[in-house]
Amino acid sequence: MTTWKNTERREAKLFGGKRLGATGQKNPDVVSDRFAIEVKHRAALPEWIKKAVDKACEYADKTGLIPLVLLHEHGKHDDYIIIRRKDFFKLIEEVSKDDEESGHSSHAGADSGDDGYSRSHSVRPN
């Protein structure tokens, strides 16, 4: 089994979704109840991205905030956000908790598995 297929399978499991595989169509790699996930497996990510994430994490670790990196392309109006998986699931947990406390129905949740990765449960749209 190739590494990228294993990565897609792992992410499908972590997000409570399904790996679609190579369909020949313009589908994402993984689909859950709420997310369309395009998985990109690389031997190494660009250093400038890792440094930006590390910088955000340094401050977030001291303050309890959730670190993210915003990528903006000159002349474009729709930016990209990079967030670590564990921070993403933390954010989802916080939103779900806030929804429950405010009386809204919860649509997402996560917990940690034995391997230290978070797993989502019932990640559903409103």
Q: How far apart are CA 101 and CA 44, in angstroms?
A: 41
State the pLDDT at residue 78. 94
Answer for the pair 81, 68: CB distance below 8 angstroms, yes or no: yes
Contact 16, 123 (CB under 8 A): yes
- pLDDT tens digits along 49-102: 999 999 999 999 999 999 999 999 999 999 999 999 999 999 999 988 887 888
Tokens standing for residue 24: 């020949």
Confidence of residue 126 (pLDDT cuts 50, 70, 90): very low
pLDDT of residue 103: 79
The 3-state DSSP class for residue 125 equals: coil
User: Percent of the chain beyond pLDDT 90?
Assistant: 66
Confidence of residue 105 (pLDDT cuts 50, 70, 90): low
The pLDDT value given to residue 84? 95
Is pLDDT at 15 greater than 70 in this prediction?
A: yes
Amino acid residing at 53 = V
Other beta carbons within 10 angstroms of residue 58's beta carbon come to: 11
Tokens 């399904």 map to which residue? Answer: 18
Delimit the domains of the chain by residue range: 1-43, 45-83, 84-126
pLDDT of residue 104: 67
The C-alpha atoms of residue 70 and residue 54 are separated, in whole angstroms, by: 13
